[in-house]
């Protein structure tokens, strides 16, 4: 009997990450939900998934900025179900970093979560992914190709992640498929943390889409599911999920 494929989703407890976890689980995957500070949300999500299908979900905590700890995080992820077939590098930091005011903390956090962690976590899981003919899916951003003003370090990090996606597709071929999803206006940042995207700015951004509406976390999750489950001959590809906004930028 063929065993269920197991997918590790970083930042998989909340927001888009939780929807991705649910979508992959609905496709029949076992899911390992990674969290940093969202233990309660991760445990609640896992309880719900296991209620739907017993022994099909687990969660692990870890700080992705702790590069030295990523080998251990990878080992704990594998130990949950005895294997890892897929990795979704979803976890991300997002905050302004304006030229003239950028400091080491901006660089450490934004490069660390958006670029460094995906590289080193993929490296830690590479032998397992090769063994299982698995996949990696990175969550980039349409601004990896078109910079976002006042978000210089974030833009650089996501541009690096786009380059990493293509490079890993080459390095891990022919055994592992590596792709990315590049969301546009899908889920606005928490207003308590970032006040950049007020109502007028949100309207302006949505007006730049061809479909004249914001997307949903489900749109991103569906794209991830397509690349994970239904695109066996696709690798090195970055799929925009932005209502066509990239054509305007």
Is 154 a known active-site residue?
yes
Tokens, residue 225: 């599911």
Q: Of 180, 186, 60, which Cα lies nearest the Cα of 115?
A: 180
| Maximum distance among all Cα pairs of the chain, rounded to whole angstroms | 59
Cβ atoms of residues 25 and 6 within 8 Å: no
Distance CA 24, CA 56 (A): 11
Tokens, residue 79: 């130990």
Of the candidates 35, 151, 154, 233, the residue annotated as catalytic is: 154
Distance CA 236, CA 239 (A): 10
Question: At a CB cut-off of 8 Å and minimum separation 6, what does 169 contact?
Answer: 177, 178, 179, 235, 236
Place of tokens 């390095």: 171
Catalytic residues: 154
């Amino acid at each position: 009997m063929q065993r269920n494929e197991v997918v590790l989703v970083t930042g998989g407890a909340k927001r888009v990450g939780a929807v991705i976890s649910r979508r992959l689980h609905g496709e029949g995957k076992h899911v390992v939900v990674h969290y940093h500070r969202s233990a309660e949300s991760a445990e609640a999500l896992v309880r719900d998934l296991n209620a739907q299908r017993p022994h099909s979900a687990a969660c692990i905590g870890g700080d992705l900025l702790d590069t030295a700890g990523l080998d251990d995080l990878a080992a704990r992820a594998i130990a949950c179900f005895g294997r890892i077939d897929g990795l979704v590098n979803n976890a991300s930091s997002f905050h302004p970093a304006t030229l003239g005011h950028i400091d080491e903390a901006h660089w450490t956090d934004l490069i660390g979560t958006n670029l460094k962690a995906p590289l080193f976590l993929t490296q830690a899981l590479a032998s397992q992914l090769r063994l299982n003919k698995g996949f990696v899916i990175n969550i980039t951003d349409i601004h990896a190709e078109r910079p976002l003003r006042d978000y210089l370090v974030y833009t650089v990090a996501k541009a690096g992640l786009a380059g990493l996606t293509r490079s890993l597709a080459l390095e891990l071929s022919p055994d592992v498929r590596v792709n990315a999803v590049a969301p546009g206006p899908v889920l606005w940042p928490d207003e308590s943390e970032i006040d950049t995207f007020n109502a007028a700015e949100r309207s302006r951004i949505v007006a730049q889409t061809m479909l004249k509406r914001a997307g949903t976390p489900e749109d991103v999750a569906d794209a991830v599911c397509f690349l994970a489950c239904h695109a066996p001959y696709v690798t090195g590809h970055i799929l925009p999920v932005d209502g066509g906004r990239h054509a305007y930028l």
